[in-house]
Amino acid sequence: MEGEAGSGYTFAVVTMSDKGSRGEREDSSGAYLQERLAAAGYTFAAYRLVPDDLETIVETLVDLVDALGIDLVVTTGGTGLSPSDVTPEAMGRVLEREIPGIAEAMRSASLMKTDRAMLSRGRAGSRRGSLLINLPGSVKAARENLEVVLPVIDHALEKIKGGTADCGALP
């Protein structure tokens, strides 16, 4: 599967937003992520818009991975410092293995644009052969962060699924 973007991997987008889940705000970052990942060759499998509720987020992520077997789950929202921002805590309960380099790379690239990037608490990791990545909630920040990690997603998925290709060998 290596070498061709997306390579048939499935993806889901989960937006964490109290206002969005009540229909009070349009989910533009979730819509952007669906469009961009499909354009990158990934196969759309699911979309969820959930409130900033720890149990709901955990249940949603577990369902997408464990029940539906989705390869890539990208979330948007809930990674900041507000009391309702509980996405990183939910990830702590869902992830089997953390991949800190992904979150570090996103924060590092974002710091070149804004000092507020250091306030992001987004995480990334794997569970049962799936890759999960938290992105910020704004369209601009979600776009910028996705572009940082998009080049490594296929290789990360291949390795998570047991691929034996050398990490140093680029397609």
pLDDT given for residue 1 in this prediction: 39
Topology (CATH level 3) of domain 10-160:
Molybdenum Cofactor Biosythetic Enzyme; Chain A (3.40.980)
Angle between helices 100-111 and 139-160 (to 10 degrees): 150
CB atoms within 10 A of CB 131: 27
Can you give the residue ranges of every domain in the chain?
A: 10-160
Closest residue by Cα to residue 45 from 86, 23, 77, 13: 13
pLDDT given for residue 169 in this prediction: 56
- Write out pLDDT tens, residues 86-136: 999 999 999 999 999 999 999 999 999 999 999 999 999 999 999 999 999
pTM: 0.93
Sheet of 130-135: strands edge to edge?
Answer: 43-50, 10-16, 72-76, 130-135, 124-127, 97-98
pLDDT given for residue 109 in this prediction: 96
What amino acid occupies position 162? Answer: G
Q: Which tokens belong to 12?
A: 């889901």
Give every residue of the chain whose pLDDT is below 50, as ranges. Answer: 1-3
Distance between CA atoms of 2 and 13, rounded to whole angstroms? 23
pLDDT given for residue 3 in this prediction: 43
